[in-house]
Structures are given as structure tokens and as C-alpha cells.
Amino acid sequence: MNFLHLPLFLLAGILAIVFIAFPPTIQASEFGPCSGRSCGCHKGYCWSACGVAAPGGSEWCYTTYSGGFSGDRAYQQCSSNHQCYYDRKCAGPCSV
């Protein structure tokens, strides 16, 4: 065994234990359309909580379309919260 790779195996094992002991707090229902609490529609564009305070914190960003990439400035338009989704990336910076 190559001992140079040992720290990577150790790190992977620790991460696996952490995710098993402390599963993500996002509930399955939060992967669908937004409700307006952690993401939604504001002034005709989709937004989402972001940054260190996410989910439900004071930092937020306007989101990109499905398949968009972070920072692409391709803002998703909307007329209601249910047209926006939790899994979209920030189209621009995360702000307060």
C-alpha cells in the first residue's frame, strides 16, 4: 500500500462518519418548488438563501436557470414562488 494516500483514505472515512452522524438538514420536500421561505420569487426573479447563513439566513442571491452555472448572470424570471427551485445556483453574488 502506498502510504502517501493514507491521509486521503482517513479523510474520506471521517467525512463518511460525519455525514452518517449528522445528515444534511434539508428535508426531501425542499428539493421541489420554492415556498418563499428559503427561496422564491421576488420582483420577477427567483432568489435563494446562500452563504454561511443558508438555509433561511439573511444572505441571498438571485438564481440562474436549470443547467446554469454559478455567476453566469442568467437570472431566472418568475411570477410566483412555485416557478423557482431549491437546487438552482446563484446567478450573481450572495448579498445581505
- Whether the bond into 55 is cis, omega within 30 of 0: yes
Residue 15 lies in a domain: no
> Is 19 a domain residue?
no
pLDDT at 38: 87
Residue 28 belongs to some domain of the structure: no
β-pairing verdict for 39-42 and 60-62: unpaired
Q: Is residue 74 part of a domain?
A: yes
Is 25 part of any domain? no
Alpha helix locations (H) across 1-96?
A: 6-21
Residue type, 95: S
The string of pLDDT tens digits covering residues 73-90 is 889 999 999 999 988 899
Task: State pLDDT tens for residues 55-67.
Answer: 555 789 999 988 7
Which residues are CB-contacts of 94 (< 8 A; sequence separation ≥ 6)? 50, 51, 59, 60, 61
Look at residue 39 and tell me if it is in a domain.
Answer: yes
**Has residue 4 been placed in a domain?**
no
Work out how many domains the chain is built from and give that number.
1
Q: Which domain holds residue 67?
A: 33-96
User: What pLDDT was estimated at residue 44?
Assistant: 96
Residue 85 lies in a domain: yes
The larger pLDDT score, comparing residue 83 to residue 18, is at 83
Q: Is the pLDDT of residue 23 over 60?
A: no
pTM of the model: 0.61
